[in-house]
Copies of this chain bind each other. A is one copy, B any other.
Amino acid sequence: MFTAAVLGSAGYTGQETIDRLLAHPSLEAVALGSDSLAGLPASALDPRLNGDRPPFVTNPEAAASGADVLFLCLDHDEAATFAPPPGAVVVDLSPAHRLADPAVARLWYGDGAGEAWSYGLPELWPPHGPLVANPGCYATAALLALAPVAGVIDTAVVDGKSGVSGAGRALKPGSHAGAVLENLAPYAVGGHRHAPEMAQQLGFPVCFVAHLLPVRRGLLVTCYVESEAELRPLLEAAYWASDVVRVLPEGTAPELARVQGTDAAEIGVFEDGATGTAIVICAIDNLGKGAAGQAVQNANLALGLPETEGLRLQGVLV
């Protein structure tokens, strides 16, 4: 049994990480950190967290808890300056430590950019060492779709659509339900923060546009690529042994509803009849495989635990 602490428990990714820890057979949550909730019982976050859960402590107290693994669910500028306790595994769910080129990092995150940690996307790049940068949600989906075929393409169009929880729990005009319901809103068009992550890992830039869906959770990317090669065998070879990523049979497209509430991913591969363009579609839950689920998966690997322990690999069937 290893011990775990969460910093930034009150946000969506913190809450989802707690959710995974509560069901994890080999990780025990010993400190739930939140500067806004410190001193309150766990039920202050959610009435379902009753009983014998530990009360919230401050983030510094959680950091000093001596836990074997720390999950940083903080803003990127807080995560950038966080000093990892010696010997601990630290998984950062913020973008602070994802970009290896300091100039690129500063361009997108300014002073909030930290040094690069191991970019941990287990199916493609398992983490090495105790400091792990957890990928962005859009980047995770795009990389799952494109990295296995990166050798036979040289760019891609990535059209992304995400539920509102991807924008976090902070109150913003664009996350007000009156702006989200019965709407579809493209955002950060021409320059989204997850694009440089994709480029770094693929080795070439992609054209990425994000759209906000009127759904609570879930994310889907539709990727368009030109290639002489057949892509399906490359994708099937990449994931045939995975319990997390399912390559769907020919003719079946991923759907948000089948991955919501889970840490799994679905991939579909198609060829356009009119232009021959290849279409690779990937669906994940932005809070699962796109955040907390992947963070636990990375922690499992860094601690030497079975990779998928504690993950939610199947949601309710309807």
Contact = CB atoms under 8 A, between A and B. Distances in A.
A257 interface: yes
A181 B187 contact: no
Contacts of A180: 177, 181
A318 B165 contact: yes
A214 B177 contact: yes
A216, A218, A249, A314: most-surrounded residue (chain B CB, <10 A): A216
A273 B214 CA distance: 27
A150 to B, nearest CB: 15
A216 B157 contact: no
A224 interface: yes
A12 B316 contact: no
A176 B182 contact: no
Contact of A171 (B171, B260, B314): B171
Q: How many copies of this chain does one complex carry?
A: 4
Contacts of A224: 157, 159, 207, 209, 224
- Give the size range of A's interface with the partner: 35 or more
A31 interface: no
A79 interface: no
Interface stretch (A15-23, A85-93, A112-120): A15-23
B177 A175 contact: yes
Contacts of A40: none
A305 to B, nearest CB: 21
Given A175-B176, A207-B275, A213 B214 contact: yes
Interface in A266-291: 266, 268, 270-275, 277, 279, 281, 283, 287
Contacts of A159: 157, 159, 222, 224
